[in-house]
Chains A and B, each alone.
Chain A
C-alpha cells in the first residue's frame, strides 16, 4: 500500500538557518504530494503541494519539488524564523474510488531558537 517516510525529529535550528526535511514515498500510479503544517494548538494546514513530476510547490518561503525518479518531496527553506516552529507532515493523495485518499508521514517537529 501507499506509504510516506519522513525524517525523524525533533529538528532544532537557529534562526536564519537553512532547513531541509526529507520525505520519500511509495505509491502506485501518480500521486499528488503535500506538506502540511501543524502549529502548536492549531489544526493541520496545507503548506504547499505538487500534483505532477517536476512540479515545485512553494509558500511562505518554503518549497518542495516532486521528484519521481527518487520518489521524494523534500521540504526546504532558506532562512527559518522562530514562527516556523511547528510539526511538518509530508503526505500523498491518490484517487481511490472517486476521491482523494490521503496518506501521511509521521511528522517532523521543527524548533527554531532565536
Chain B
C-alpha cells in the first residue's frame, strides 16, 4: 500500500516569502505529526493532529508557522515570512491512532531552502 507522501520534495524560496508544504498520510491513519530536521540533527517535533484538530502544537517555533488538517486526512504546513533559519527538512508522519504502541510511519520529507 501507499506510504506517507509529501510534496514538494524540494522547495527553494526567498526570504520573506510564504510557503506551503503538503502531507498525505496513510489512508485510515487518524494521527498525523510534523517534524523539522535541521542539518546534522534529529527530527524535532512541531505539531500533532488527532483527526482534524491540532492536539499539541507546542513544537511550533513561532506564530509564522501554522498547520491545518481540515478533513482529517491531508495536512498542510504553512510558513509565513520565511527566514533563512527555516531551512531544513520538514518531515510528516502518521499513525493509526495517537496512543501507544502505534508506530509512526514517516514520509520522505520536504527539503526547504530559504535564500
Q: Is the CB of B102 within 8 A of A96?
A: no
Chain A residue contacts of B43, Cβ below 8 A:
44, 89, 102, 104
**A104-B108 contact, Cβ under 8 Å, with A95-B99, A99-B48:** no
Contact of B55 among A46, A49, A97 (CB under 8 A): A97
CB of A101 within 8 A of chain B?
A: yes
Interchain CA distance A42-B46 in the complex, whole Å: 21
Chain A residues close to B by CB (< 8 Å): 4, 32, 36, 41-46, 49, 51, 89, 91, 93, 95-107
Q: Is the CB of A105 within 8 A of B42?
A: yes
B window 100-115: CB within 8 A of A:
100-104, 106-109
CB distance from B47 to the nearest CB of A (A): 11
Chain B residues close to A by CB (< 8 Å): 3-4, 31, 33, 40-45, 48, 50, 55-56, 91, 93, 95, 98-104, 106-109
Interchain CA distance A81-B35 in the complex, whole Å: 30
Contact of B4 among A43, A49, A96 (CB under 8 A): A43
Q: Is the CB of B4 within 8 A of A100?
A: no
**A45-B106 contact, Cβ under 8 Å, with A99-B55, A99-B56, A106-B42:** yes
